[in-house]
Copies of this chain bind each other. A is one copy, B any other.
Amino acid sequence: MQSLERAAAILQVVAGSGGTLGVTDIAAAVGLPKTTAHSLLRTLLGVRFVEQDRAGRYALGQGLLRLGTGHLDVNELRSRASNWTDALASRSGQAVRLATLEGERVVVVHHVFRPDDSAQVLDVGTVLPADRTALGRVLVAFAPHRTVRGVDPARADVAAVRARGWAVEDSGWEAGAAGLAAPVRGSTGLVVAALGISGPAETVLDGHRGARPRLVAMVTESAQAISRELGWHG
């Protein structure tokens, strides 16, 4: 596939420069018309494989460099998400968490307390049960390498969460508490984290043990806003 080969050649050139290069130099090095190179670079910019400085020159991007070092940088995720997680805690009146899937483990990487004076413990670094928390169920449902085989309850849950686009947890994990979670996507559209709220069941759920629609909207909209911060174009 010609376009992929050309993009690879461009990446090699940019990497080989050890710094920044202009479109014209890149095009000359690869042997393409300038506008063709530009089109390729625009897409590479969109997927964070290259970055651009003030003068419009291109360098390798974090999205590419990160591929060789494992997954999303947790510090970047936290810093980009923090405005939205703070706002969500304020508006929903619930505790907010961000979690990622590390191997098979659901790990809390960011936690904002409920905005009240209740006693709360910071649980960054905590490992959550994948199947009994909303955060875990979202991460499992949207896990990139998951193909669900056979007929079992997990498969039905994955399909339901994927179809709905969010998950609810109704007192399965912590007595008296409930939660909601929605997926956070990175620049390629893949789910890289889950954003969730949790609090006393009567504040999260409606009278029928279902999720309150207003809270669902808040969580999914905040998750999408964070996704866009991370370069998602959905």
Interfacial residues, chain A to chain B (CB-CB below 8 A) = 1, 3-5, 7-9, 11-13, 15-18, 21, 24-25, 28-29, 39-40, 42-44, 46-47, 49, 60, 63-71, 103, 144-147, 186-190
Given A3-B3, A21-B145, A147-B25: A188 and B9 within 8 A (CB)? Answer: yes
Q: Please state the number of chain copies in the assembly.
A: 2
A7 close to B5 (CB less than 8 A): no
Beyond A5-B46, A67-B68, list 10 extra A-B contacts (CB 8 Å): A1-B42, A4-B44, A8-B63, A13-B144, A16-B71, A18-B103, A25-B145, A28-B147, A29-B147, A64-B67
Query: Does B9 lie within 8 Å of A7, measured CB to CB?
Result: no
Complex Cα spacing A206 to B40, Å? 47
Tell me, rounded to whole Å, the shortest Cβ–Cβ distance linking A106 to chain B. 15
Offer 23 A-B interface pairs, CB within 8 angstroms, sorted by A: A1-B40, A1-B42, A4-B43, A4-B47, A5-B43, A8-B47, A8-B49, A8-B63, A8-B188, A13-B144, A13-B190, A15-B68, A15-B70, A15-B71, A16-B144, A17-B144, A21-B145, A28-B147, A29-B145, A29-B190, A60-B68, A64-B67, A65-B68
